[in-house]
Amino acid sequence: MDGVLDYVVNALFYIFVIYNFSYLCLRWMVIISWKLKLKAKKELSNKFLQSQGVSIIKPLFGYDSNMNDNLESFFELNYPKFELLLCVGEKINGPSLPLITELRAKYPAVDVKVFQGGEDVGPNPKICNMMPGYRDAQYPLMWFSDSRIHTSPDNLTEMMSHIGDLNVALVHQMPFVSHVEGFAGYLDKAYFGTQFARMYLIGDLLNLNHIVGMSWLLKKDALEKVGGLKAFGEYLAEDDVIGQALGKSGYKLALSTKLAVQNSGAPSTVLFRERIIRWTKLRANMSPLFFMLEPITECLPNALILGFYSKSFGFSFLSFIALFITIWFLSDLVYLHVLSNGNLGSLWLMFLAWLYRESTAYWYFLLGWVSREVTWGGKRYRLLPGGKTARINVSTAQTV
């Protein structure tokens, strides 16, 4: 019996050593691949761009202190033919309306339309908000972009360089964050620049078609063939479901070399926690098998497991843990350096934010299993089998 146990223990040791080495190689492979993509720019002719009009749909709700800069960056796009379809969630007196009026006066040459109140097509508030703009769009190409995204003048042109392939139906941008001083700002960067970026780039390399739709360009006719935007109003993770539906229909998805830069005016640990918990529950509900494997993609479980074999490496348990965490952090620091163009800020504060995120990831993982209720925009929803969602009536606590 002892011989069998020793065999199992030794087998687990070799499995985790091989896995960690392979995972490390894969992490380096995807970030090197990303770096090479940044250098391989495709030039587009003016004739092609003139013939490809784009409808830009932006859902707006409430008001953020950086909304002025974020929204104005879309008025300043260097692209020959586009329209801005601004979908204000409030039916009356939307706080973003004065800003829209000011920007329209400042940029009279930009084609702008404003829609208010949305259209009820399901529990997803963003889909409901965007539906009037989607129906009114005059161009066959559509760029959906969240209100907190800040863009650059050449952003749309870069995405268009991928959409020319007849089989490519959707171009998505990997979410990242602008640099904001303070622990909450570093926490956002530690998440989106390390664990999130690793899994996003690995998913793209393996053609898994899992996307986060903060900023994505797609062909409207392809979306219509899988049901149109309205058909996905019953999902909170509509972006991921749309990506899967397009992939199953034979279309390709392409990853832009431009990042979807979130430029939030007031990041906070509370907002970070709420978003991570919501996303964790969505992943647990939609991809439970993949979700079960998530812990072994994190630093601390691998450090602890291999730490039990620390004597095989010639280290004490604690010294091995410290060395493993240091190597993992330095590897993550490379990701952060590449994605932020070297703007890391305080390394000490970044390390503390990184360690906090690594330490709390398992608590969020447990919450993903124990509850199927999520909160988004102050409203409560219940996740149903298959990724669908139902609103929860707060007064009666009933699913509607």
Residue 114: inside a domain: yes
In a shared domain, residues 16 and 162: no
| Contact assessment for residue 331 and residue 341, using Cβ atoms and an 8 Å cutoff | no
Give which of 194, 201, 161 is closest to 177, Cα–Cα: 194
For residues 330 and 223, membership in a common domain is answered with: no
What CA–CA distance (Å, rounded) separates 327 from 347?
Answer: 15
Same domain, 25 and 54: no
Question: In the chain, pLDDT over 70 holds for what percent of residues?
Answer: 94
Residue type, 6: D
Per-residue pLDDT, averaged over 29-53, amounts to 74
Confirm whether 302 is domain-assigned.
Answer: yes
Which of 236, 266, 296 finishes a domain? 266
More confident residue, 178 or 164: 178
Rounded to an integer, the average pLDDT of 81-86 is 96
pLDDT tens string 184-237:
999 999 999 999 999 999 988 888 878 999 999 999 999 999 999 999 999 999
| Residues 8 and 91 both lie in one domain | no
Alpha helices in the chain (DSSP H): 2-39, 46-51, 67-75, 97-106, 125-136, 155-163, 183-190, 196-205, 220-225, 238-248, 269-286, 288-292, 299-307, 317-339, 347-370
Supply the DSSP string of 259-300, one letter for each residue.
-EEE--SS--HHHHHHHHHHHHHHHHHH-HHHHHTGGGGSHH
pLDDT reading at 386 higher than 60: yes
Residues 26 and 56 in one domain: no
Terminal C-alpha separation, the chain: 56
For residue 151, give the CATH number of its domain: 3.90.550.10
Residue 193 lies in a domain: no
Pair (30, 101) in one structural domain: no
Q: How confident is the model at residue 397 (pLDDT cuts 50, 70, 90)?
A: very low
Query: Tokens in use for 77?
Result: 């796009």
Quick one: 192 exposed, middle or buried, by C-beta within 10 A (0-12, 13-18, 19+)?
buried
Token pair 């299993």: residue: 369
Same domain, 128 and 242: yes
Residue 342, pLDDT score: 85
Reading across the β-sheet that carries 260-262, which strands appear in turn?
Answer: 149-150, 260-262, 175-177
Residues 218 and 288 in one domain: no
64, 188, 204, 239: the catalytic one is 239
Residues 86 and 168 in one domain: yes
Residue 239 a catalytic site member: yes
**Is residue 147, in this structure, part of any structural domain at all?**
yes
Q: In this structure, are 115 and 15 located in the same domain?
A: no
Give the model's confidence band at 46: pLDDT under 50 very low, under 70 low, under 90 confident, else very high. low
- Which strands form 398-399's sheet, in the order they lie side by side? 373-376, 379-383, 389-393, 398-399
360 and 317 belong to one structural domain? yes
254 with 387, same domain: the answer is no
Structural domain harbouring 246 = 46-174+212-266
Closest CA to 127 of 279, 232, 262, 240: 232
In the predicted model, is pLDDT for residue 394 greater than 60?
A: no
Q: How many domains does the chain have?
A: 2
